[in-house]
């Protein structure tokens, strides 16, 4: 392949042969192009962030490395990123974890663990005026002495994708929402809550990472976490 020349080789950029583009399954495109130019003033000829790939204008430069040699020739290596659909297909990661909840919110608290103020179980103590659960004595049966909470299993799904929309998802945290992509709905009355969001900029293309946390059996409270 012959070199493609743009302008005077001493003052412009010479695109080097061997460049390639990778069209990935998620809809993103990555590539790299090497340029040669004279060392003098090479810093001023580095392709700007957001400038298009010479073969695929939807891929944009987001990073450049300048290397100067001893023969007054400089090499500029540019990295490109683009998308063929917006947003790209999310990369999905599932994470299981646990979080501590008050023992009185356990599904079996009334039937097996602590009972009610009128019919306490396992020596559970309740406030006489408010009926609020106070705790278990140190010598409570079933090894419940001093127990105030329990580990509730939960799941988090993390989705990562690319978009050209610089406003995507920035003000939507703390809302009940379904994750993008092929993420299954939690069973029963459970639902998803958007709990985390981050963005990495690659020129005018943005990598978005969102996290959604599954609720307990009763679902996230829709009066509190509006959609």
Query: Domain map of the chain by residue range?
Result: 4-83, 91-214
* Predicted confidence (pLDDT) per residue in 1-51, tens digit: 444 444 444 568 999 998 889 999 999 999 999 999 999 999 999 999 999
Q: Tell me the C-alpha to C-alpha distance, in Å, between residue 118 and each of 93, 96, 214.
A: 46, 37, 34
State the pLDDT at residue 227.
62
* Residue of 89, 90, 86, 91 whose CA lies nearest to 164: 86
Please say whether the dihedral angle defined by the alpha carbons of residues 184, 185, 186 and 188, taken in this order, is positive or negative: negative
* Residue of 211, 154, 162, 163 whose CA lies nearest to 187: 154
CA distance 136 to 128: 15
* Predicted confidence (pLDDT) per residue in 145-172, tens digit: 999 999 988 889 999 999 999 888 877 8
How large is the average pLDDT for residues 50-75? 93
Please name every residue paired with 17 in a beta bridge, in sequence order, or none if there are none: none
**CB neighbourhood size of 59 (10 A):** 26
Paired tokens of 224: 């509190």
186, 187, 190, 196: CA torsion to nearest 10: -10
State the pLDDT at residue 66.
97
* Residue of 167, 171, 159, 160 whose CA lies nearest to 204: 167
Lowest mean pLDDT among 74-78, 111-115, 146-150, 168-172: 168-172
Please say whether the dihedral angle defined by the alpha carbons of residues 28, 32, 37 and 42, taken in this order, is positive or negative: positive
């Amino acid at each position: 392949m012959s070199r493609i020349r743009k302008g005077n080789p001493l003052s412009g950029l010479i695109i080097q042969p061997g460049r390639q583009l990778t069209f990935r399954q998620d809809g993103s495109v990555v590539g790299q192009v090497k340029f040669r130019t004279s060392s003098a003033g090479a810093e001023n000829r580095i392709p700007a962030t957001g400038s298009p790939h010479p073969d695929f204008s939807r891929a944009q430069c987001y990073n450049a490395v300048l290397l100067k040699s001893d023969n007054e020739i400089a090499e500029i290596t540019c990295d490109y990123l683009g998308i063929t659909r917006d947003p790209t297909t999310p990369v999905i990661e599932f994470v299981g974890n646990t979080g501590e909840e008050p023992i009185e919110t356990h599904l079996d608290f009334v039937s097996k663990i602590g009972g009610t103020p009128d019919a306490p179980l396992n020596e559970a103590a309740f406030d006489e005026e408010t009926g609020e659960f106070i705790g278990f004595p140190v010598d409570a049966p079933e090894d419940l002495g001093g127990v105030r909470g329990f580990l509730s299993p939960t799941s988090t799904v993390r989705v990562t994708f690319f978009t050209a929309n610089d406003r995507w998802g920035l003000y939507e945290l703390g809302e009940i929402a379904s994750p993008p992509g092929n993420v299954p709905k939690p069973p029963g009355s459970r639902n998803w809550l958007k709990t985390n969001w981050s963005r990495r900029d690659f020129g005018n293309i943005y990598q978005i990472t969102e996290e959604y946390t599954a609720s307990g059996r009763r679902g996230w409270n829709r009066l509190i976490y509006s959609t």
